Amino acid sequence: MLRHLLLGLLVFSSQLAAQVPVPRETTLGEGTMPIDYRTAIVTPESLAQEAQTLSSSLGKLTGLQHRLLKPWQGRQVPQKIILEIDESLPASAYTLTINPKAAVIRGRGGEGILNGIQTFSQLLPIEAQPQQSSKIPCLTIKDSPVAKRRILFIDTARHLFPVKTLKSLLSWMSYHKLNELHLHLNDDQGWRLESKKFPKLTGIGSLRNSTPPYTYHSDDENSEEYGGYYSQENIKELLSHAAKFHIKVIPGFSLPTHASAILAAYPELGNKDLPDYGPEVRSIWGTFPDTLAPSPETFAFLSTLFSEVATLFTDEEIRIHAPEVPWIEWQNSPRAQSYLKANKLASPAALQGHFLKKIDAILATYKRKRFDPASVPAIDLSTYQRPPELELAEDPTREATTPMISIAKVYQFQKSPAMQATLWSPLVHGEEKLIYQLFPRLAAFAEAAWSAPSTHRFEQFQTRMLPILNFYQNNSLEVADIYLPPKRAALQGTKVTTDMKHAGDRWPELAFDGDLDSYFQSHGGVSKGNHLTFEFPFPVEGKITCPTGGEEQSVLENGILESSIDGIKWSAPVTLANGVAAISLPEGSKFLRLRVTAAQTKPFLVNELSL
């Protein structure tokens, strides 16, 4: 009897472990509720859409088709999942109560109900094959988000992602309780939204002559034309799908800078009085001076364009990315300078603010308002999530931006009423790379944005992610491995000190931590006299080998290795040869020092000491 009870507790512990984001409050009850062919879904007509979502997700896990019943039909059903309206709850909040005969999900409306449905679905066993009969624990959950706005931003200007991919992404966003998708629809490298009123935006502005291959900093081009855009029918399809998950889709534009694609299509909107003026869609990454002119023609264009955008997108906000780049064109254009003087603007920076106010007034005409991305804290998922050398050794197309942001750092992201994860796409050439960059870090972001601080424990999050990773795999989602930085501790309490800065989490202690895969790495170049010193807790005898690098750019080119009994008087040094030195320690030695004897501009690394 006790054995069966313990096995049952282990099963239910595993099921509860799959909750990401973790609920605010969970109280485990007694007993279980069976889920099998008899389980029906009871719902009022107002929640029919959410009931269909539940039926679909439940069916994928059970392999069964579950009945949808109206409340009066479900009264005599002994085994059911009930959806109920509770107007006392906040919009995103929900409660979930499970007893042996029924699960009841309550929310103020569809949004809260859907959040409860996703939590309920995560309670079901995650197996490679559908389970037609299973049990879930009886419990009570009360849950609501910390951040009301949980945003995912995707750059579709540099690389376009098919509507099918975005629809799939919306379902995963809902699974992890994110509620806004922002799409970046233009930049110097392309325009991505069909305009009936300005057809050249897609006819010319969506096409670039080439795309930089890896690496990001290369000015090379692949000489292959790249283009594409979302038709208005595509957008309607996407919005309809997003509505099923209560996710807002907000369009985003770069204005008035980063306007190369716009100006390639309509050059009359630019600072055309400049010498050698000839805008084009850019085929390499980087920042370019192409800027809209502050002219009546430009503001008329924007007014007409935003009238079309407001008709297509239903949300009241339009995202305007307005980076403060050098306004070279405004500085050099006589026409722009005349506009500054006429409007008593002191500088191009002041003109930028003036331009944005003009956009605000245009948007207000169509009952829309500007969303400023700088107003919301953001975590960048375009970055490496594991050390670059690991990623690139496995696959050179995993190139990303720096600095590395591990899943642990994403999990620690600061809490705010609105939070966003961003993905810029110069290095994201397709769906496979998109998924790899997002997952599993998006799950960590979702928990950071949703869950209460009192529930935050990264070690527990790791445990809860294990079945989620299996669920990703079962759904053909190829995600990154969870990278955990090495522990900052040397063997046997050895003290390791240095006057050099370390790169990322490549701490000095990693040169002697017992792990052959970890190492110390300097941050940038080093100077003559820089050192890495080891103080052992007891005298060490024998021969010690200190290997630096392994690749030409990682080797210490000029250095010595020396030992000491007291850390004051040092033995005769051994000079590094090809980045390696071995020294025989005199009896009683407790100190070892690697010292740089000539400056070098390249960083170097120190692999595991060998005794």
Q: Where residue 54 sits, what CATH number does that domain have?
A: 3.30.379.10
Domain end (from 75, 108, 143): 143
The pLDDT value given to residue 131: 86
User: Domain for residue 547, yes or no?
Assistant: yes
Residue 287 resides in a domain:
no
Q: Is residue 579 part of a domain?
A: yes
Please state whether the predicted TM-score (pTM) of the whole model is above 0.85. yes
Cα gap 511→503, rounded to integer Å: 13
pLDDT digits (tens, 9 = 90+) for 391-422: 988 998 999 999 999 999 999 998 999 999 99
Residue 611, domain member (yes or no): no
* Domain-embedded: residue 114: yes
Q: Which residue's entry shows tokens 């979502």?
A: 53
Residue at which a domain ends, from 143, 162, 178 = 143
**Residues 1, 472: Cα–Cα separation, whole Å:** 35
Dihedral of the alpha carbons of 446, 450, 454, 457, in degrees to the nearest 10:
-10
User: Does the residue 188 lie in any domain?
Assistant: no
Local structure of 604: helix, strand or coil: coil
Residues spanned by the domain of 34 = 2-143
Tokens representing residue 426 in the block:
């110069």
Look at the chain and report how many structural domains it folds into. Answer: 2
pLDDT tens per residue across span 238-286: 999 999 999 999 999 999 999 999 999 999 999 999 999 999 999 999 8
Looking at residue 319, its amino acid is R
Q: What is the pLDDT of residues 25-40, one digit of tens each?
A: 999 999 999 999 999 9
320 touches 253 (CB < 8 A): yes
Q: CATH code at 584?
A: 2.60.120.260
pLDDT at 581: 93
Per-residue confidence (pLDDT) for residue 218, from 0 to 100: 54
Tell me if 418 sits within 8 A of 151, measured CB to CB. yes
Residue 278 inside a domain? The answer is no
Q: Is 529 left (phi over 0), alpha (psi -120 to 50) or beta?
A: left
Q: 441: which residues sit within 8 A by CB, 6+ positions away?
A: 381, 385, 405, 407, 410, 421, 480
| Whole-number percent of the chain with pLDDT over 70 | 96
Q: Which of 89, 124, 143 is a domain's end point?
A: 143
**What's the token pair of residue 53?**
């979502």
Residues of the chain with pLDDT under 70: 1-17, 215-220, 550-553
- Asked if the structure places residue 563 within a domain, the reply is yes
- Is the four-CA dihedral 247, 251, 254, 255 of positive or negative sign? negative
Length of the chain: 611
